[in-house]
Copies of this chain bind each other. A is one copy, B any other.
Amino acid sequence: MTFNIPLTYRPLSAASLPDTLANIPALRARLGGDPKHWTVREVSDGYLNLVYLVNGPDGSLCTKQSLPHVREDKDWPLPLDRTAAEAAYWRMVGPHAEGLVPEIYHYDPELALIVMEQLSPHRVVRHGVVAGETYPGLGAKVAEFSARSTFFTSDFFQKQEFKHRGVAELKDNHVLHRIMLELVYQDPFIASPRNHWTTPHLDAFVEDFRANGRIRAAAARLGLKFLSSPQALIHNDLHAGAVMIAGDDVRIIDPEFSTFGPIGVDLGIFIGHLLLGYYAQDGHAKPGEDRSPQQQWLLDEIVAFWFAFRRRFVELWRDNAAGDAYLASGFADPVGQAVAQAEREAFVDGLFADAVGYAATAMIRSIIGYSHFAELESIAEPDRKGAAEAGALSLARQFLLEPQRFVAIADVIAEAPRHRRAPGGRFAP
């Protein structure tokens, strides 16, 4: 498979980047001085992009450019359309999420290049979680982002036409949409050659996920909902690697997988990856190090995230009911207001149930699917890695098998410690 690449496209190098930026007056002015003296540092991370940090005497910026293939695998072609999708996401979500996303300075479709605010001294939350750092307040900030980004792109705020146009605008990003669909909702439950896992430790889990009818059915229902419930524009990859933090300042990045989908997907991915971090702590603890404060912090942030999301989504809806769903003029009287409030709360309760399910699929795909993540992947010792992963898989499995046990976020917090496994041998589900 090959994809169209604009004739003028070229991957930018640290050497060629200053000239390109200097041709754009606003960027040249922002950096200031002589482009020859700008510093350029490559910080490419993740699977997909070239990322540079550029600093000049007057300011700084960050460039993100799509490559026409997976960064580490030139034989896996990827279309450049994902940059258009990211730009579209920022255009639709940015105005409603000021201060929670990077400022976007420039978008060049032919170079598949986005130039944005350099987030400094921000750190990717995932790296901090691995290092044993804690960021009190993280959950509430991400909740604010999730509530705003989804509410303001939902049918409660938007007119019907917005979503139809939005789906049309994102449709050319179908390769990334397909990757996400297959890697999360399909591969882990079949014998896909892309799957890999810590073996033999997790073999019995993997076998169970492919054989257990109730698990397969639960995962398929989540996949169907992912395909057929475009409640809002979702980020669709909201793990701890897409969150940067510096003190109180939290920013969400990397929305190139964005699509119209169930709001619970974003909530579940974020919760699921905090839970991965929770189970990973034992594997990262140095001899004699007690990671229980970090574990408690992660669980606290999950609670804070959910309560803040729930409160903010309901408030935003109450105060901004401009959409085609639950037409405001139909609920303006006192009875209508009371009914609408009950409907809002019931809707968000439904999102919680979805979030539990999507937390499960996010955790499972991160451990036995194609893409693994540093929380667990960077645990050096296989027995400890397997034990941490088995704990996460065990909770995820219960999310799928006994969703009725998780009616409140407290149920998640209460169950999480019970699934921890001690290193040693193979693990049974």
A residues bordering B, Cβ < 8 Å?
155, 160-161, 163-165, 167-168, 170-171, 174, 177-178, 181, 186, 189-190, 210-211, 213-214, 216-217, 220-221, 223-224, 227-231, 324-327, 329-331, 333, 335-336, 338-340, 342-343
- Which of A177, A326, A329 has most chain B Cβ within 10 Å? A326
**Chain B residues within an 8 Å CB radius of A342:** 217
Q: Could you tell me the dominant secondary structure of chain A's interface residues?
A: helix
**Chain B residues within an 8 Å CB radius of A325:** 220, 223-224, 227-228
Extra contacts, 4 of them, besides A164-B174, A167-B171, A217-B343 (Cβ < 8 A), are A155-B228, A190-B330, A211-B335, A223-B324
**Chain B residues within an 8 Å CB radius of A165:** 171
**Chain B residues within an 8 Å CB radius of A338:** 213
Q: How far is the CA of A103 from the CA of B231 in the complex (A)?
A: 36
**Chain B residues within an 8 Å CB radius of A174:** 160-161, 164
**Given A155-B224, A165-B171, A335-B213, A177–B160 Cβ distance below 8 Å?**
yes
Q: Is the CB of B164 within 8 A of A327?
A: no
Closest B residue to A210 using CB positions: B330
Q: How far is the CA of A221 from the CA of B164 in the complex (A)?
A: 20
User: In the complex, what's the smallest C-beta–C-beta distance from A163 to chain B, in angstroms?
Assistant: 7
**Given A155-B227, A230-B230, A335-B213, A220–B171 Cβ distance below 8 Å?**
no
User: In the complex, what's the smallest C-beta–C-beta distance from A52 to chain B, in angstroms?
Assistant: 32
**Chain B residues within an 8 Å CB radius of A224:** 155, 325-326
**Given A164-B177, A174-B161, A217-B339, A189–B227 Cβ distance below 8 Å?**
no
**Chain B residues within an 8 Å CB radius of A167:** 164, 167-168, 171
Q: How far is the CA of A171 from the CA of B182 in the complex (A)?
A: 27
**Given A171-B168, A224-B155, A231-B228, A339–B216 Cβ distance below 8 Å?**
yes
Closest B residue to A232 using CB positions: B228
Closest B residue to A333 using CB positions: B211
User: In the complex, what's the smallest C-beta–C-beta distance from A338 to chain B, in angstroms?
Assistant: 7
Q: Is the CB of A220 within 8 A of B329?
A: no
Q: Is the CB of B227 within 8 A of A229?
A: no
Partner of A213, one of B168, B210, B339: B339
Closest B residue to A189 using CB positions: B330
Closest B residue to A171 using CB positions: B164
User: In the complex, what's the smallest C-beta–C-beta distance from A317 to chain B, in angstroms?
Assistant: 12
User: In the complex, what's the smallest C-beta–C-beta distance from A339 to chain B, in angstroms?
Assistant: 4
**Chain B residues within an 8 Å CB radius of A181:** 160, 324
**Chain B residues within an 8 Å CB radius of A168:** 164, 167-168, 171
Q: How far is the CA of A171 from the CA of B231 in the complex (A)?
A: 17
Q: Is the CB of A216 within 8 A of B331?
A: yes
Partner of A220, one of B189, B210, B217, B326: B326
9 contacts between A and B (CB under 8 A): A161-B174, A163-B227, A164-B177, A165-B171, A186-B330, A216-B339, A217-B342, A220-B326, A220-B327
**Given A165-B171, A167-B168, A221–B343 Cβ distance below 8 Å?**
yes
**Chain B residues within an 8 Å CB radius of A329:** 190
Q: How far is the CA of A257 from the CA of B221 in the complex (A)?
A: 29
Closest B residue to A327 using CB positions: B186
Q: How far is the CA of A214 from the CA of B210 in the complex (A)?
A: 43
User: In the complex, what's the smallest C-beta–C-beta distance from A420 to chain B, in angstroms?
Assistant: 29
Q: Is the CB of A190 within 8 A of B343?
A: no
**Given A216-B331, A331-B216, A160–B231 Cβ distance below 8 Å?**
no
User: In the complex, what's the smallest C-beta–C-beta distance from A225 to chain B, in angstroms?
Assistant: 9
Q: How far is the CA of A340 from the CA of B214 in the complex (A)?
A: 10
**Chain B residues within an 8 Å CB radius of A171:** 161, 164-165, 167-168
